[in-house]
A and B are shown apart, each in its own frame.
Chain A
Amino acid sequence: MMETLVCNELSKTYGSVRALDHVDLKLEEGKIVGLLGPNGSGKTTLIKLASRLLVPTEGEVRICGELPSPATKAIVSYLPDRNYLPDWMKIKDLLEMYQDFYGDFDVQRAQEMLGSLNIDYDTPLKNMSKGTKEKVQLILTMSRHAKLYLLDEPIAGVDPAARDYILKTIISNYDETATVLISTHLIADVENVLDEAVFLKEGKVVLHQSVDELRDTTGKSVDEYFREVFKC
C-alpha cells in the first residue's frame, strides 16, 4: 500500500517549547486515522506541518513522497480548527473560489451536501450559526477528491447531532484511496469510524495501532485505553 503521509524524525519547537519531538509516523492510503491526544500534545502542530503552515525545526514530513509545497497542497484537503473562511462571502462565492483554486473540487458533491442542509446560496457566512458555518467548512473540505484529508478538531464545539452529521459526512465522502487524519480529544465520538489510532503525548507518538488490534490486545475501547494512558 502506498504511504500518504510519512514523518521522519519530525520536530517542531516554539522558542523553548518542544511541540513535536522526533516523530516517526507512516500513514497508508485508504485509512481513517485518529490523531488522539490531550490539549497541547502536538496534534495541531503535526497537521500544520503537513499542510505547510509551519516549517519543521528538525526532520521532515512527506505527502505522497513529496515535501510540503504548493504541489502537495493541491492534493491535501485541510480543515483548520477554527472559522477560516471570510465572513462576508456567500456560499455561491465559496463554491466558485474552491472551483477556481482546486482542480479536484467536486461542486456537484458540495451542492448535494449543502442541499441537505437547506442553506441559501446567497446567505453570507456571517449570517449563519456557528454549527452551520462548521458544516459548510467541512462540506467544502470533503468535496475535494484529495489524497489526504487533514481534519483538525472537526467535532469540537458542536452539539451531538452536528457531530453525527460531521462524522457521517466524513465517512461517506472520502475517496477509498485517500487517507483521513482526524485530530481530536473526543475519542468516544470518533472511535467507531477509525481504522487506526495514533496517540500523541507531549509531542511524541506513544502508540500507532489499528483500532481492532488495540481493542483485542488491551481488552478495552480506544476511549477507555486513552483515558488510562493520559490519566492525570
Chain B
Amino acid sequence: MLGKLIKYDFKAMFRSLYPIYVALIALTTVFSLMVKFNFDQGLLFTIFAFLFVAALNGSIIACVFFVVTRFSHGLLKNEGYLSFALPVSTATHILAKVINAIIWAFIEGLMLCVCMVIMGTVMGSIKEVAFFFQEVFRAFDLIERDVLVAVLQVIVFLILEMIASVCLIYAAMAVGHLFSKNQKMIAVAFLIVVFVLRSFLWVSLVDLTEVVAGPTHMFVDDLMLIIPPIVLTGLYATLTWFILDRRLNLE
C-alpha cells in the first residue's frame, strides 16, 4: 500500500510542478542563448534575466509549497475523507508523505543541476561541462580520506535535517488541526517555538561536546551530528501520528 500511496501523491505533485520545471528549463535555455550570442544588454535581456532568477527561486518555493499542501489537502481537508477511508494505517500515510517530500526535494536538486548543465553546455560546450565533472570526480580522489568522510557526514546530516524539517512542518500542521480556528497561525507559532527550542538544543550540544572532548574537537566528526535530526524526526513523526490517528476530526 505504501508504494500505491506514493504513486498517487507523486502524480498529484507532478501535475502541479511539471509546468514550473518546463518553464525553468525553457528560461534557462533562452537566457543562456542570449548570453552566448551577446544579447546581454537592454530591456529584453533584463526581463529574461529577471524571469530566469524568478523561475529558479520560484521552483524551490513551489516545491516546498506543494509538499506542504499535499499533506494538508490530502490528510486534513476534504480529501482526508478519501485517504483515511483507505485500508492503510496512519503511519503508512505519514511515511508516504515524507518519502514523497524527499523524492521531490531530490527532483528539485536534479532540476537545478540540469539548469547548470544547460547553461554550461549552451554558453560553453559539452566538452567543457564533461571536463568540469571529470575534475570534480578527480578532486574526490585527491581529497584525504578523513576529509571525505567529514564531507559525507555533512551530506548525510543535511539529508537528515531536511527529513526532520519536513516532519516538523507536518507536525505543525497536525497541531494546528487540533484547533477549530486559526489553524495556520497556530501551526506557524508551533514552528517558531520549536525553532527556538532547537537553537537552544544545538548550542547546548556544542557546549557539551567541548566539555567532553575539548575545545579543539571537530564537531562534524562526532556521531552527535546525526543523532539530533534522527531523534527529532522520531518525535515529530510520533506527534503527527498521535494527532492524526487519535485526535483526527475532519470538518
Which residues of chain A have a CB within 8 Å of any CB of chain B? 14, 48, 51-55, 70-71, 73-74, 76, 78, 80, 82-86, 88, 93, 97, 100-102
Instruction: State whether A73 touches B79 (Cβ < 8 A).
Output: no
Contact of B85 among A51, A55, A71, A86 (CB under 8 A): A51
Which residues of chain B have a CB within 8 Å of any CB of chain A? 1, 4, 7-8, 11-12, 15, 78-82, 84-89, 245-250
Asked if A74 meets B82 with Cβ closer than 8 Å, knowing A54-B249, A101-B1, the reply is no
Tell me the nearest residue of chain B to A73, going by C-beta: B87
Instruction: State whether A84 touches B249 (Cβ < 8 A).
Output: no
Instruction: State whether B78 touches A83 (Cβ < 8 A).
Output: yes
Asked if A52 meets B84 with Cβ closer than 8 Å, knowing A84-B79, A86-B12, A88-B15, the reply is yes
CA distance A137 to B192 in the complex (A): 40
Contact of B248 among A54, A73, A74, A76 (CB under 8 A): A54
Instruction: State whether A97 touches B246 (Cβ < 8 A).
Output: no
Tell me the nearest residue of chain B to A101, going by C-beta: B86
Contact of B82 among A14, A76, A85, A100 (CB under 8 A): A85
Kindly name the residue among B15, B78, B82, B246 whose own CB sees the greatest number of chain A CB atoms within 10 A: B82
Asked if A84 meets B4 with Cβ closer than 8 Å, knowing A53-B85, A101-B86, the reply is no
Taking CB atoms, residues of chain B closer than 8 Å to A97 are: 8
Interface contacts beyond A78-B81, A84-B80, A101-B4: sample of 16 additional A-B pairs, CB < 8 Å, sorted by A: A51-B84, A52-B84, A53-B81, A54-B248, A55-B246, A70-B89, A74-B87, A80-B78, A80-B81, A80-B85, A84-B79, A84-B81, A85-B79, A86-B12, A97-B8, A101-B87
Taking CB atoms, residues of chain A closer than 8 Å to B79 are: 84-86
Asked if A14 meets B249 with Cβ closer than 8 Å, knowing A73-B87, A74-B87, the reply is yes
CA distance A83 to B11 in the complex (A): 20
- Chosen A-B contacts, 22 in total, with CB atoms closer than 8 Å, are A48-B250, A54-B248, A55-B246, A55-B247, A70-B87, A70-B88, A70-B89, A73-B86, A80-B78, A80-B85, A83-B78, A84-B78, A84-B79, A84-B80, A84-B81, A85-B79, A86-B82, A97-B8, A100-B7, A100-B8, A101-B4, A102-B87
B251 to chain A, nearest CB (A): 9
Tell me the nearest residue of chain B to A78, going by C-beta: B85
Taking CB atoms, residues of chain B closer than 8 Å to A52 are: 84
Question: Nearest 8 CB-CB pairs, A to B?
Answer: A84-B81, A74-B87, A80-B81, A73-B87, A70-B87, A78-B85, A84-B82, A100-B4
Taking CB atoms, residues of chain B closer than 8 Å to A55 are: 245-248
CA distance A48 to B81 in the complex (A): 9
Instruction: State whether A71 touches B87 (Cβ < 8 A).
Output: yes
B22 to chain A, nearest CB (A): 18
CA distance A70 to B246 in the complex (A): 14
Instruction: State whether B4 touches A88 (Cβ < 8 A).
Output: no
Kindly name the residue among B8, B81, B86 whose own CB sees the greatest number of chain A CB atoms within 10 A: B81
Tell me the nearest residue of chain A to B16, going by C-beta: A88
CA distance A76 to B15 in the complex (A): 31
Taking CB atoms, residues of chain A closer than 8 Å to B80 are: 84
Taking CB atoms, residues of chain A closer than 8 Å to B245 are: 55
CA distance A207 to B88 in the complex (A): 35
Tell me the nearest residue of chain A to B4, going by C-beta: A100
CA distance A101 to B247 in the complex (A): 24
CA distance A78 to B87 in the complex (A): 12
A141 to chain B, nearest CB (A): 10
Taking CB atoms, residues of chain A closer than 8 Å to B11 are: 93
